[in-house]
Chain A
């Protein structure tokens, strides 16, 4: 009928609580056998059933109570048609077949059989088992769900399960096989040099140990319970060591009941629902757990800050600290071999650095190798520069430091030649920047200079490297390089990680400021310094007041103290 849910989809849940707290409620009810002349019975109602209004209106009844389901014209007693059972994890409920089998002592062979025999005898003495049709197979029972094995996924007529399916079914996913993974055993046996077939069977598929439980229903006709052919799997629950619970099919929830149609002449139809009946965690307990976690986390945080220290080095107020972790990566496209780079950093006005800070450097001499069309020299030369900028005048824009460099080659005969000059303005935005700077070298007029460079070495050089950009001696308005002849040579690649730190950044949230320029953020400097000055003045005044207070005669202070009411003292 319309509205019943399809079986088949499994659901995965996770829980860190002990699995023994899991409880399920299963209700099963026979619905009318599928025949044309028998009266219609309203189907089993789940907890909430939206969309059933039309049917309910026809029947003139609301949702049914499960156990009482009278049917007009029924010849069977109503107790057999419906059953509700609450099952715990790995709780063994016996079927009629098992009761008949294990009561007979000759059928018991294994200790498990004997144990069942005892339990069944006890049950019989106590008045019979409580469940009738619903029973369970636990992890210890030797039950395999053949349906799972032969499940077809395509519409092929002769679909044969692949070797992977057989392997997954056969792998013994039992707890005893699990090898504990420790660091010491790992070191000695990381590799299995000659894996056996058993090892391969286990390792090539998922082999996490899993405990399974099947909730079964004996759907035979009344009075004929205990026949194995009427046993149907209602629900399969698998729990593995990581707390993953797989329930197939899923709990009904808002879906309709699941249906089983039996083959046979009667073609009976059964409907059942599965619900989670585990005790829910109390809000107080949950809160207590959260509190414990928070405390643990807080203690861990304190431990870490104890290891490192809770302060952080801050620049002076009103300054910007620029820290550049740079690297001269490589130089490519040059004429000669055995290159090295000599560089220095020029700090404009308002910039300063510590006296121990090295602002220049020389790389090693590196022989090139051919990569693609170019000859490349890999320097991999790291350098770190720490600079401070103090804004004195708010109206002027800061000038950023410049890195000047020259590439030279040194050959076997100890001749050195200038290969190129270049400059690089340090990036204003913090972050990682990879820059490739092309270089040029001056050439003299006529062929003589080039021949000298080729034979003897030496070439026209710049006396003042700042000429690469704006010469430091230049004061005018118009820079002219007319008459200066150069030739393009190769390029040098730099990788710069720029960090900026300033107290002015503390006022604004970091994310928004990514988009703003450094200048805007620095605008708070004067405000910052004035606030700082006010705070300083306040601290000084407070200290003076405290000193003055201490120097007052004692009896004056005591008098003021005794004016406070002393009603609290006995």
Chain B
């Protein structure tokens, strides 16, 4: 068995159409991976930035995974949502990030996109259409060509990866 530790933070999100944002995150991996410790999904707080343009979350991530193989390397699915002044929620963007395979500390900028609605929806807001199956469409990527999307903002993550016993099985990271 080899182990992987993911220690880091979902730092901030910027470049979205709204400034009041929160982020839902989830870790997804193949069948051979087991989450040994830590929460596999969560949601950050809702932030309205005053210093700068980016919504600051600083949400800590601490996960311990064990695996029997390299297939299905874990991925983080991020959904950024915004809340307007009247408290209505709307989707701001989807993003996927593969957990970096090299051990060490990485600063990852995940770009996000969101499904493009009709012009009327875009005018009225907030948000637009949402995916029926975010996990399948965003992470699996086999059905992506059906989508029409538009670019949204970016999410900055600081991900630290610690690997254990990978060299024992001849894996070079």
Contact = CB atoms under 8 A, between A and B. Distances in A.
A309 B1 contact: yes
B111 interface: yes
A505 B144 contact: no
A167 interface: no
Given A309-B68, A312-B2, A364-B113, A358 B142 contact: yes
Interface string A499-516: 111111110011001000
Contacts of B121: none
Interface in B115-173: 116, 138-139, 141-142, 144-152, 154, 166-173
Interface residues of B, number: 51
A501 B113 contact: no
Contact of A499 (B68, B70, B106, B110): B70
Contacts of A367: 116, 148-151
B102 interface: yes
Contacts of B102: 430-432, 497
Which of B97, B101, B141, B168 neighbours the largest number of chain A CB atoms within 10 Å of its CB? B141
Interface in A46-92: none
A323 B70 contact: yes
B63 interface: no
B141 to A, nearest CB: 6
Which of B102, B146, B147, B171 neighbours the largest number of chain A CB atoms within 10 Å of its CB? B171
A325 B173 CA distance: 12
Nearest to B165: A312
A386 interface: yes
B34 interface: yes
Nearest to A501: B171
Given A313-B69, A502-B170, A432 B141 contact: no
A304 B36 contact: yes
Interface stretch (A7-15, A199-207, A267-275, A371-379): A371-379
A366 B149 contact: yes
Given A363-B144, A380-B113, A497-B73, A432 B68 contact: no
A479 interface: no
A314 B149 contact: no
B69 A380 contact: no
Which of A386, A499, A500 neighbours the largest number of chain B CB atoms within 10 Å of its CB? A499
A391 interface: no
Nearest to B68: A309
Interface in A295-313: 304-305, 307-313
A50 B100 CA distance: 56
A365 interface: yes
Contacts of A122: none
A305 B71 contact: no
A238 B70 CA distance: 52
Interface string B61-86: 00000111111010100000000000
Nearest to B150: A367
B95 interface: yes
A555 B146 CA distance: 77
Nearest to A507: B170
A382 interface: yes
A366 B150 contact: yes
A369 B138 CA distance: 20
B32 interface: yes
A326 B138 CA distance: 14
Contacts of A340: 145
B15 interface: yes
B88 to A, nearest CB: 23
A312 to B, nearest CB: 4
B173 A369 contact: no
Which of A377, A382, A513 neighbours the largest number of chain B CB atoms within 10 Å of its CB? A382
A378 B1 contact: no
Nearest to A366: B149
B94 interface: yes
Contacts of A365: 145, 147-149
A432 B144 contact: no
Contacts of A369: 150-152
A364 B145 contact: yes
Contacts of A495: 98
A312 B169 contact: yes
A28 interface: no
A381 B149 CA distance: 12
A432 B100 contact: yes
Interface in A164-209: none
B111 A378 contact: yes
B167 A313 contact: no
A304 B1 contact: yes
B96 interface: yes
Contacts of B147: 364-365
A498 B101 contact: yes
A437 interface: no
Contacts of B146: 364
A432 B106 contact: yes
Given A383-B141, A505-B170, A378 B69 contact: no
Interface string A226-247: 0000000000000000000000
A311 B166 CA distance: 12
Contacts of A323: 70-71, 73
A311 B144 contact: no
Contact of A386 (B71, B96, B101): B71
Contacts of B145: 340, 362-365
A570 to B, nearest CB: 48
Smallest CB-CB A-B distances: 9 pairs:
A313-B69, A510-B167, A308-B66, A378-B111, A367-B150, A364-B147, A497-B101, A378-B151, A505-B170
21 contacts: A307-B34, A310-B1, A312-B69, A312-B168, A313-B69, A325-B98, A325-B101, A326-B98, A327-B97, A330-B111, A365-B147, A366-B150, A367-B149, A369-B152, A378-B151, A380-B110, A380-B113, A381-B141, A432-B101, A497-B98, A510-B167
Given A308-B68, A363-B145, A366-B113, 11 more contacts: A313-B69, A314-B169, A361-B141, A380-B111, A432-B100, A432-B102, A497-B101, A499-B172, A502-B172, A503-B170, A510-B166
Interface of A: 304-305, 307-315, 321, 323, 325-327, 329-330, 338, 340, 358, 361-369, 371, 376-384, 386, 430-432, 495, 497-506, 509-510, 513
Interface of B: 1-3, 15, 32, 34, 36, 66-71, 73, 75, 94-98, 100-102, 106, 110-113, 116, 138-139, 141-142, 144-152, 154, 166-173
